[in-house]
Amino acid sequence: MWAVVPVVVLIGASACDTTPTPGIARGEAVYGTCVPCHGSDGAGNQEQGAPAIAGLPQSYITAQLQKYQSGQRGANPFDTVGLRMKSMSLAIDLEGDLESVAEYVAGMPSVVTAPTLARGDAEVGQLAYGLCSACHGPTGEGNEALSAPPLKGQHDWYLLAQLQKYRSGWRGTAPGDIWGATMRPNALTMDDEAMEDVVAYIQTLN
């Protein structure tokens, strides 16, 4: 009689274990909460201020979600898009879910984005991009070791918005955001016209 008790207890514990299994399948399920803004294909949505995220490096996606959760991103009261993303990131609260959704998104096919900005001189922007290439690479491929995401393939309106956020202090000023603090001084050297020029050049890298 007593010999079967440990087995019964083990079976009962397994039946009550509702912890999700990490991995691609779980990541796809969690990504359902991201679809309203980023789209089912991860292509982004300008009306929502949501960038294209399909195919971004898993390490970068993980790091950005962690930044939103910790308040290193999306904490500025004027950054309404960031505040919305911060609240969404806090909903990813089960162990392993953040890593799972990052793995799923990283495995999505990259998308092709079309230019939307009317202004910007790509030839002038190429000169300015020389500073960016030190971290983001000469072809905008990014550098995981420096936490620098790929820039090619990203929406031009999003790239411009982020440069403006860095310049205004909405990004890159939170305590502990080392890589953001590295990026901000570069944005401070550019006015709107210079930003539009460099973004126009980045679009030629697609």
Average pLDDT over every residue of 188-206: 96
The two structure tokens encoding residue 40: 């089912």
CA angle 7, 9, 10 (to 5 degrees): 65
- In the prediction, which pLDDT does 20 show? 82
Q: Which pTM value belongs to this model?
A: 0.89
When pLDDT is cut at 50, 70 and 90, the band that residue 206 belongs to is confident
Is a pLDDT exceeding 90 seen at residue 32?
Answer: yes
Q: Which domains does the chain have, with CATH numbers?
A: 20-111 (1.10.760.10), 112-206 (1.10.760.10)
Q: What is the pLDDT of residues 86-120, one digit of tens each?
A: 999 999 999 999 999 999 999 999 999 999 999 99
Higher pLDDT pick, 16 / 203: 203
> Average pLDDT over the chain, rounded to whole?
91
- In the prediction, which pLDDT does 8 show? 41
- Please report the DSSP string for 95-155 in residue order: TTHHHHHHHHHHTSPP-------S---HHHHHHHHHHHHHHH-TTS--BGGGTBPP-TTS-
- In the prediction, which pLDDT does 18 show? 63
What are the helix (H) ranges across the chain? 5-16, 24-31, 35-38, 58-70, 80-89, 97-106, 122-136, 156-168, 178-188, 192-203
When pLDDT is cut at 50, 70 and 90, the band that residue 11 belongs to is very low
Is a pLDDT exceeding 80 seen at residue 15?
Answer: no
When pLDDT is cut at 50, 70 and 90, the band that residue 5 belongs to is very low
Percent of the chain's residues with pLDDT above 90: 89
- In the prediction, which pLDDT does 153 show? 95
- In the prediction, which pLDDT does 56 show? 97
